[in-house]
Amino acid sequence: MTEAERRDEHWQGHEDRRPEEFGGRRADLWVQILLVLGVSLGASALWAILKIAEVMTTSSIAQSHATMNQPMSDVPVFDVLRQVLTIVLALVPVLLALYLLAGSAGQLRTVCRQIGLDLRAPWQDLALGTLLFVVMGLGTLGMYQAGRALGLTAELTTNGGGTEWWSVLLLIGQAARHSLVEEVIVVAFLADRLLRVGWAWPAVLIGSALLRGSYHLYQGFGPTLGNVVMGLVFLWIYRRTGRVMPLVVAHFLLDAVGFLAGAYLFGS
Protein backbone atom coordinates (compact mmCIF):
# COMPACT_ATOMS: atom_id res chain seq x y z
CA MET A 1 0.00 0.00 0.00
CA THR A 2 1.38 3.39 -0.97
CA GLU A 3 1.67 6.34 1.44
CA ALA A 4 -1.16 8.13 -0.39
CA GLU A 5 -3.42 5.08 -0.03
CA ARG A 6 -2.65 4.85 3.69
CA ARG A 7 -3.59 8.52 4.14
CA ASP A 8 -6.85 8.04 2.24
CA GLU A 9 -7.72 4.99 4.35
CA HIS A 10 -6.90 6.91 7.54
CA TRP A 11 -9.19 9.83 6.72
CA GLN A 12 -11.92 7.53 5.36
CA GLY A 13 -11.96 5.88 8.76
CA HIS A 14 -12.62 9.26 10.39
CA GLU A 15 -15.51 10.00 8.05
CA ASP A 16 -17.16 6.57 8.18
CA ARG A 17 -17.11 5.80 11.90
CA ARG A 18 -20.16 6.80 13.86
CA PRO A 19 -19.85 8.22 17.39
CA GLU A 20 -21.09 4.99 19.02
CA GLU A 21 -18.10 3.12 17.59
CA PHE A 22 -15.48 5.05 19.55
CA GLY A 23 -17.04 5.45 22.95
CA GLY A 24 -19.46 8.34 22.76
CA ARG A 25 -22.48 9.94 21.16
CA ARG A 26 -22.35 12.97 18.89
CA ALA A 27 -23.35 15.19 21.81
CA ASP A 28 -20.34 13.92 23.77
CA LEU A 29 -18.03 14.94 20.94
CA TRP A 30 -19.49 18.43 20.86
CA VAL A 31 -18.96 18.67 24.61
CA GLN A 32 -15.33 17.67 24.10
CA ILE A 33 -14.91 20.35 21.44
CA LEU A 34 -16.50 23.02 23.63
CA LEU A 35 -14.45 22.06 26.68
CA VAL A 36 -11.10 22.03 24.87
CA LEU A 37 -11.81 25.29 23.06
CA GLY A 38 -13.31 26.82 26.19
CA VAL A 39 -10.06 26.45 28.11
CA SER A 40 -7.85 27.49 25.20
CA LEU A 41 -8.34 29.17 21.85
CA GLY A 42 -12.11 29.47 21.98
CA ALA A 43 -11.74 31.66 25.04
CA SER A 44 -9.01 33.64 23.26
CA ALA A 45 -11.39 34.18 20.35
CA LEU A 46 -14.08 35.59 22.63
CA TRP A 47 -11.63 38.00 24.25
CA ALA A 48 -10.32 39.05 20.83
CA ILE A 49 -13.85 39.73 19.55
CA LEU A 50 -14.59 41.80 22.64
CA LYS A 51 -11.35 43.72 22.17
CA ILE A 52 -11.96 44.60 18.52
CA ALA A 53 -15.55 45.61 19.32
CA GLU A 54 -14.31 47.94 22.07
CA VAL A 55 -11.67 49.47 19.79
CA MET A 56 -14.17 50.10 16.99
CA THR A 57 -16.60 51.64 19.46
CA THR A 58 -14.20 53.97 21.25
CA SER A 59 -11.60 54.89 18.62
CA SER A 60 -10.28 53.30 15.43
CA ILE A 61 -8.28 50.20 14.60
CA ALA A 62 -5.53 52.26 12.96
CA GLN A 63 -4.94 54.14 16.23
CA SER A 64 -4.95 51.03 18.42
CA HIS A 65 -1.90 49.16 19.64
CA ALA A 66 -1.54 45.44 20.30
CA THR A 67 1.38 44.25 22.42
CA MET A 68 2.46 40.65 22.75
CA ASN A 69 4.77 39.05 25.34
CA GLN A 70 4.40 41.77 27.94
CA PRO A 71 6.29 41.51 31.25
CA MET A 72 4.28 39.95 34.06
CA SER A 73 6.17 41.45 36.99
CA ASP A 74 8.50 44.37 37.70
CA VAL A 75 10.79 41.97 39.56
CA PRO A 76 12.88 40.07 36.96
CA VAL A 77 12.95 36.72 38.75
CA PHE A 78 9.18 36.72 39.25
CA ASP A 79 8.64 37.87 35.68
CA VAL A 80 10.60 34.84 34.47
CA LEU A 81 8.78 32.47 36.83
CA ARG A 82 5.36 33.81 35.84
CA GLN A 83 6.12 33.54 32.14
CA VAL A 84 7.48 30.01 32.47
CA LEU A 85 4.38 29.02 34.45
CA THR A 86 2.16 30.62 31.79
CA ILE A 87 3.87 28.60 29.06
CA VAL A 88 3.57 25.34 31.00
CA LEU A 89 -0.09 25.85 31.94
CA ALA A 90 -0.98 26.80 28.35
CA LEU A 91 0.14 23.32 27.27
CA VAL A 92 -2.40 21.59 29.53
CA PRO A 93 -5.23 21.98 26.95
CA VAL A 94 -2.89 20.37 24.41
CA LEU A 95 -2.50 17.36 26.69
CA LEU A 96 -6.27 17.33 27.22
CA ALA A 97 -6.88 17.30 23.47
CA LEU A 98 -4.36 14.50 22.95
CA TYR A 99 -5.88 12.51 25.82
CA LEU A 100 -9.37 12.83 24.36
CA LEU A 101 -8.09 11.77 20.95
CA ALA A 102 -6.32 8.79 22.50
CA GLY A 103 -9.12 7.71 24.81
CA SER A 104 -6.67 6.53 27.47
CA ALA A 105 -3.25 7.45 28.81
CA GLY A 106 -1.79 4.25 27.38
CA GLN A 107 -2.69 5.32 23.85
CA LEU A 108 -1.10 8.79 23.96
CA ARG A 109 2.01 7.70 22.09
CA THR A 110 -0.13 5.96 19.48
CA VAL A 111 -2.30 9.00 18.84
CA CYS A 112 0.78 11.23 18.57
CA ARG A 113 2.03 8.93 15.81
CA GLN A 114 -1.37 8.96 14.14
CA ILE A 115 -1.46 12.76 13.88
CA GLY A 116 2.22 13.03 13.06
CA LEU A 117 3.29 14.72 16.28
CA ASP A 118 6.55 12.79 16.48
CA LEU A 119 10.10 12.67 15.14
CA ARG A 120 9.75 9.86 12.59
CA ALA A 121 10.41 12.20 9.64
CA PRO A 122 12.51 15.07 11.03
CA TRP A 123 14.13 16.23 7.80
CA GLN A 124 10.91 16.12 5.79
CA ASP A 125 9.06 17.96 8.55
CA LEU A 126 11.82 20.57 8.79
CA ALA A 127 11.95 21.07 5.03
CA LEU A 128 8.19 21.45 4.61
CA GLY A 129 7.93 23.55 7.75
CA THR A 130 10.66 25.90 6.56
CA LEU A 131 9.02 26.26 3.16
CA LEU A 132 5.71 27.10 4.82
CA PHE A 133 7.50 29.57 7.08
CA VAL A 134 8.97 31.45 4.12
CA VAL A 135 5.71 31.56 2.15
CA MET A 136 3.47 32.38 5.12
CA GLY A 137 6.00 34.82 6.55
CA LEU A 138 6.14 36.88 3.38
CA GLY A 139 2.35 36.78 3.13
CA THR A 140 1.97 37.83 6.76
CA LEU A 141 4.27 40.83 6.32
CA GLY A 142 2.43 41.89 3.19
CA MET A 143 -0.96 41.55 4.86
CA TYR A 144 0.21 43.52 7.89
CA GLN A 145 1.60 46.38 5.80
CA ALA A 146 -1.52 46.50 3.63
CA GLY A 147 -3.73 46.49 6.71
CA ARG A 148 -1.78 49.34 8.28
CA ALA A 149 -1.97 51.37 5.07
CA LEU A 150 -5.74 50.86 4.89
CA GLY A 151 -6.29 51.56 8.59
CA LEU A 152 -7.55 48.03 9.23
CA THR A 153 -4.70 46.75 11.38
CA ALA A 154 -3.47 47.75 14.82
CA GLU A 155 0.14 48.70 15.39
CA LEU A 156 1.69 45.47 16.61
CA THR A 157 4.55 45.11 19.08
CA THR A 158 5.77 41.53 19.26
CA ASN A 159 7.90 41.97 22.37
CA GLY A 160 6.66 44.18 25.17
CA GLY A 161 9.36 43.00 27.55
CA GLY A 162 13.05 43.68 27.85
CA THR A 163 16.06 42.54 25.86
CA GLU A 164 17.93 40.73 28.64
CA TRP A 165 19.63 37.45 27.74
CA TRP A 166 16.92 35.33 29.35
CA SER A 167 14.29 37.04 27.24
CA VAL A 168 15.54 35.06 24.23
CA LEU A 169 14.69 31.78 25.95
CA LEU A 170 11.31 33.08 27.07
CA LEU A 171 10.41 34.27 23.57
CA ILE A 172 11.46 30.92 22.12
CA GLY A 173 9.34 29.23 24.77
CA GLN A 174 6.35 31.39 23.86
CA ALA A 175 6.83 30.53 20.18
CA ALA A 176 6.88 26.81 21.02
CA ARG A 177 3.78 27.22 23.16
CA HIS A 178 1.79 28.98 20.43
CA SER A 179 2.83 26.48 17.77
CA LEU A 180 1.81 23.44 19.80
CA VAL A 181 -1.42 24.90 21.14
CA GLU A 182 -2.69 26.14 17.80
CA GLU A 183 -1.65 23.28 15.54
CA VAL A 184 -2.61 20.42 17.84
CA ILE A 185 -5.95 21.91 18.86
CA VAL A 186 -7.13 23.88 15.81
CA VAL A 187 -5.84 21.40 13.25
CA ALA A 188 -5.44 17.86 14.58
CA PHE A 189 -8.02 17.76 17.37
CA LEU A 190 -10.69 19.92 15.76
CA ALA A 191 -10.43 18.19 12.38
CA ASP A 192 -10.79 14.78 14.00
CA ARG A 193 -13.79 15.71 16.12
CA LEU A 194 -15.64 17.66 13.44
CA LEU A 195 -15.21 14.80 10.97
CA ARG A 196 -16.55 12.37 13.53
CA VAL A 197 -19.68 14.43 14.20
CA GLY A 198 -20.43 14.36 10.50
CA TRP A 199 -18.91 17.52 9.01
CA ALA A 200 -17.58 17.28 5.46
CA TRP A 201 -13.97 18.22 4.78
CA PRO A 202 -14.79 21.61 3.18
CA ALA A 203 -16.78 22.60 6.27
CA VAL A 204 -13.96 21.44 8.56
CA LEU A 205 -11.47 23.42 6.50
CA ILE A 206 -13.52 26.62 6.70
CA GLY A 207 -14.45 26.20 10.36
CA SER A 208 -10.87 25.63 11.47
CA ALA A 209 -9.58 28.57 9.42
CA LEU A 210 -12.24 30.95 10.75
CA LEU A 211 -11.45 29.93 14.32
CA ARG A 212 -7.76 30.60 13.70
CA GLY A 213 -8.59 34.02 12.36
CA SER A 214 -11.02 34.87 15.16
CA TYR A 215 -8.52 34.76 18.02
CA HIS A 216 -6.26 37.16 16.09
CA LEU A 217 -8.99 39.80 15.75
CA TYR A 218 -7.40 41.92 18.49
CA GLN A 219 -4.63 42.67 15.96
CA GLY A 220 -7.09 44.02 13.40
CA PHE A 221 -8.54 42.69 10.17
CA GLY A 222 -5.27 42.37 8.25
CA PRO A 223 -3.71 39.72 10.51
CA THR A 224 -7.12 38.09 10.91
CA LEU A 225 -7.47 37.57 7.17
CA GLY A 226 -3.86 36.41 6.96
CA ASN A 227 -4.48 33.80 9.64
CA VAL A 228 -7.64 32.58 7.92
CA VAL A 229 -5.59 31.97 4.77
CA MET A 230 -2.89 30.32 6.87
CA GLY A 231 -5.52 28.08 8.45
CA LEU A 232 -6.81 26.97 5.06
CA VAL A 233 -3.31 26.15 3.84
CA PHE A 234 -2.24 24.38 7.02
CA LEU A 235 -5.30 22.14 7.27
CA TRP A 236 -5.06 21.27 3.57
CA ILE A 237 -1.44 20.22 4.10
CA TYR A 238 -2.40 18.25 7.20
CA ARG A 239 -5.00 16.35 5.22
CA ARG A 240 -2.48 15.62 2.47
CA THR A 241 0.39 14.54 4.73
CA GLY A 242 -1.37 13.29 7.85
CA ARG A 243 1.33 15.02 9.89
CA VAL A 244 0.97 18.01 12.20
CA MET A 245 4.71 18.35 12.85
CA PRO A 246 5.51 20.43 9.71
CA LEU A 247 2.84 22.89 10.82
CA VAL A 248 4.33 23.08 14.30
CA VAL A 249 7.76 23.76 12.78
CA ALA A 250 6.40 26.47 10.47
CA HIS A 251 4.39 28.14 13.22
CA PHE A 252 7.33 28.01 15.62
CA LEU A 253 9.63 29.66 13.07
CA LEU A 254 7.05 32.35 12.27
CA ASP A 255 6.60 33.29 15.91
CA ALA A 256 10.23 32.90 16.97
CA VAL A 257 11.53 35.05 14.13
CA GLY A 258 8.74 37.58 14.63
CA PHE A 259 9.33 37.85 18.37
CA LEU A 260 13.13 37.95 18.22
CA ALA A 261 13.32 40.25 15.20
CA GLY A 262 10.91 42.65 16.87
CA ALA A 263 12.96 42.64 20.06
CA TYR A 264 16.52 42.67 18.79
CA LEU A 265 16.44 44.08 15.25
CA PHE A 266 13.67 46.67 15.30
CA GLY A 267 13.39 47.32 19.02
CA SER A 268 9.65 46.61 19.18
pLDDT digits (tens, 9 = 90+) for 113-125: 999 999 999 999 9
Instruction: Give the model's pLDDT for residue 262.
Output: 63
pLDDT beyond 70 at 23? no
CA pair distance 251, 241, nearest whole angstrom: 17
CA pair distance 268, 259, nearest whole angstrom: 9
Instruction: Give the model's pLDDT for residue 239.
Output: 97
- Average pLDDT over every residue of 53-71: 87
Q: Do the beta carbons of residue 257 and residue 249 sit within 8 Å? A: no
- E-strand ranges in 68-144 read none
Residue type (1 letter), 132: L
Instruction: Go through the chain and tell me how many residues it has.
Output: 268
- Average pLDDT over every residue of 174-193: 98
- Note down the domain range covering 171: 3-264
CA pair distance 32, 17, nearest whole angstrom: 17
Q: Do the beta carbons of residue 209 and residue 228 sit within 8 Å? A: yes
End-to-end CA distance of the chain, in Å? Answer: 51
Sorting pLDDT into bands at 50, 70 and 90, what band is 229? very high
Q: How many domains does the chain have?
A: 1
Sorting pLDDT into bands at 50, 70 and 90, what band is 63? confident
- Average pLDDT over every residue of 34-49: 97
- Average pLDDT over every residue of 211-218: 96
Q: What is the pTM of this model?
A: 0.89
Q: How far is CA 12 from CA 5, 57, 102, 195, 200, in A?
A: 10, 47, 18, 10, 11
pLDDT beyond 90 at 20? no
